[in-house]
Homo-oligomer: A and B are copies of this chain.
Amino acid sequence: MLENALQYSHTLLKEVVHADDIVIDATMGNGHDTKFLAELVGLNGTVYSFDIQKLALMNTTELLNQNNLTDRVKLIQDSHANIDHYVTETITGAIFNLGYLPGGDKTEITHASSTLTAIESCLELLKSNGRVILVCYYGHPGGKDELAQVQQFTSNLDQHQYQVLEYQFTNQIHHPPILIAIEKR
C-alpha cells in the first residue's frame, strides 16, 4: 500500500531526526506526533510541543506518562505563532497537523495567519537538511482557504534555499490530508 500522508510524514521525519536532536511539534493535539518525536530524539533530545487547548496538554501528558517519555518533552500551552518566544536552538525537524484536533473542539481550528508565522519561525531555526512537515486537513469550513494560503507561501520559498514537496492522493472524494514537506538546503 502507498503510505498515506500521516505515515509518510513519519517516514520523512525518521530520515532526518536522530538521537539528541531538538525538534518541534507545532500542533500537539492528542500527542501522537509528540510521542513519535520523543522516541526519535531519545533521552538527551528535546521536543517542544505547542497547543492553545488545555485538553491537548492533558491528553499528551497522559500519553507521555504511559510511555515514560516525559523527561525529554516540553509541553507549552500557547499559540505556535509564539514559537520564537520559547525556542532558540537549532532544530532538525518540525511537524504541523493543520486543521482541528481530532476528538477535540471542532471550532478550535488552526488559522493561516498564525500557521504561517509558526512555519516561518521553524524555518528560521531549521538546520541544513532538516525538514518542516505540514499535514494539511482541509475538509472543514475555512480549511481550503488555509490550505491555499499555505500552498501559496510554500511554493514561493526560494528554490536555492529550500525544496518544497507536495504529496497527495488525487482520486479520493473525502479530502484526505495533503502533505507538504520543506527541506532546507
Contact = CB atoms under 8 A, between A and B. Distances in A.
Interface of A: 1-2, 12, 129, 151, 154-159, 162-173, 180-181, 183
Nearest first, the 3 A-B pairs at minimum CB distance are A155-B170, A164-B171, A157-B171
Count of chain copies: 2
Given A2-B12, A151-B170, 10 more contacts: A154-B171, A155-B171, A159-B172, A159-B173, A163-B172, A164-B171, A165-B168, A165-B170, A166-B170, A167-B167
A139 to B, nearest CB: 15
29 contacts: A1-B129, A1-B183, A2-B12, A2-B163, A2-B165, A2-B183, A151-B170, A154-B170, A154-B171, A155-B170, A155-B171, A156-B171, A157-B171, A159-B171, A159-B172, A159-B173, A162-B171, A163-B169, A163-B172, A164-B169, A164-B170, A164-B171, A165-B167, A165-B168, A165-B169, A166-B166, A166-B167, A166-B168, A167-B167
